[in-house]
Each structure stands twice: as structure tokens, then as C-alpha cells.
Amino acid sequence: QVQLAESGGGLVQAGGSLRLSCAASGSTFSSLVMGWFRRTPGKEREFVAAITRSGESAFYADSVKGRFTISRDNAKNTVYLQMNSLKPEDTAVYYCAARAVVIVVLSPSGYDYWGLGTQVTVSS
């Protein structure tokens, strides 16, 4: 079993930055593919970014490409999401997710473990 805990959300003005962190416990972190997803009221959970187990490769939704960066520190059992040039449409609850299978997938259904989420609000 894997436990995930997000932190770093908050209120920021448009154009600003935030860094989300997700601390993992309960499993060998380096064996997990990690992802970030977000959800706004009335919408399905959507893919934001994912990173391979080693951290060598990262994948992004078109809506965040060039603005967000996912990274991981396997020594600290933590994955990060650096969010720059934030827009009001980035406002959502952001979730960290872990996948025990090596292949990276972009669908929420492909992830086995989830955190409780952290709220990000971007004001215009």
C-alpha cells in the first residue's frame, strides 16, 4: 500500500508560480510511475503531468506544456510540480497519483494510489 500526501497549494495571482510537493510512503518510491492530475467542479479528473520511475522522461498535457515541470527526488520519496505563468483556468484541486506498472499512462484509471488533493486557486 502506498500513501501519498500533497502540499504546496494556495492562492496566487495570474502570472505567478506555485510548487506542489507529494510525499510518498509505504512502498519503494523509485518503483512507481508518478503523475499529477487536477479536477474542477463539474468536470472529470484530467491529466496534468507524469514522470517515469527514474525521472528521465516526463509527459505533459498540452494545456500546461511549457509552463509546468514535473520532477522527482527518489532519495526523498517526493515528486514535485513546478507551476509557472499560472492562469485562472489552472484553478483546481490537484492530485498526486502513483502507478505500480512501469509503463506511463495518462488516464486516471491507470493509477493505483491517490492523495487527497491540494487546492490551487489562481485569481485574475
Mean pLDDT for back-to-back runs of 10 residues, the chain (124 residues): 96 98 92 96 94 96 98 97 98 97 90 97 96
Q: What's residue 102's pLDDT?
A: 84
pLDDT, residue 1, reads 87
Predicted local confidence at residue 26, as pLDDT = 84
- Asked if 20 and 36 count as a contact pair (C-beta separation under 8 A), the reply is yes
Q: Among positive and negative, which fits the CA dihedral 41, 46, 49, 54?
A: positive
In sequence order, the 6+-apart residues with CB closer than 8 A to the CB of 65 are none
